[in-house]
Amino acid sequence: MNVQRYARVAGALFLLSIVAGGFGEAYVPSKLIVSGDAAATAANLRNFDFLYRLGFASFLIESLCDTALALILYVLLKPVNKQLSLLAAFFGLMATATFAFAELFYFAPQLILGRAYLNTFTPDQVNSLALLSLKFYGYAGMIFTAYYGMA
C-alpha cells in the first residue's frame, strides 16, 4: 500500500477508536456508576446489562483499532526515524496491554454480582466489591492514558 492509503486507514481507525472509546469510557460509566453508592451502581449494572456489555464491546473495538494503529504508525514513521518509530510502537502496544488489564476490572463486577459462591458476603459487601472493581478499572485506565499519550 502507498503512504496515502496507510494514512487514510490510520485516520479511519483513529476516528473509530475515538468514537468507541468515548462511548465505552465516558458515556457508559456515566450512566452506570454512581460514585460513593455501591447499591445504586450494582442496581444499574443489573438493570442495564445490555448497555454494560455494549460498553465492554466498544472497549474491544477500541483496543483492536489501537493495536492496528501501532503497526500503521510504525510503518508511516519508520522512514523518518526507525528507532523512535519503534519506540512509539512499543508504547502503543504497552498502552493497549495496560488497557486490556484495566478491562478485567471493568468486566469483573458482572462476575462478582452474579455468582452464588459469594453468598457468604452480605449484599452490601458484594455491591461494594463490584464498585471497588470499577474504581480499580478507572485507576488502571489512567495508566493506559499515560502510555497512550507517549505513543
Across the range 125-148, mean pLDDT stands at: 87
Confidence of residue 128 (pLDDT cuts 50, 70, 90): very high
Between CA 102 and CA 31, with CA 94 as vertex, the angle to 5 degrees is 30
Q: Distance of alpha carbon 97 from its chain centroid, rounded?
A: 10
Across the range 80-89, mean pLDDT stands at: 93
Mean pLDDT, all residues of the chain: 90
Can you give the residue range of the structural domain that contains 11? Answer: 3-150
Across the range 122-133, mean pLDDT stands at: 91
Contact 10, 69 (CB under 8 A): yes
Helix, strand and coil content of the chain, in percent to the nearest 5, comes to 85, 0, 15
The type of residue at 69 is L
Across the range 89-96, mean pLDDT stands at: 91
How many independent structural domains does the chain possess? 1
Q: Which helix (H) or strand (E) holds 134?
A: helix 123-150
pLDDT on residue 18: 93
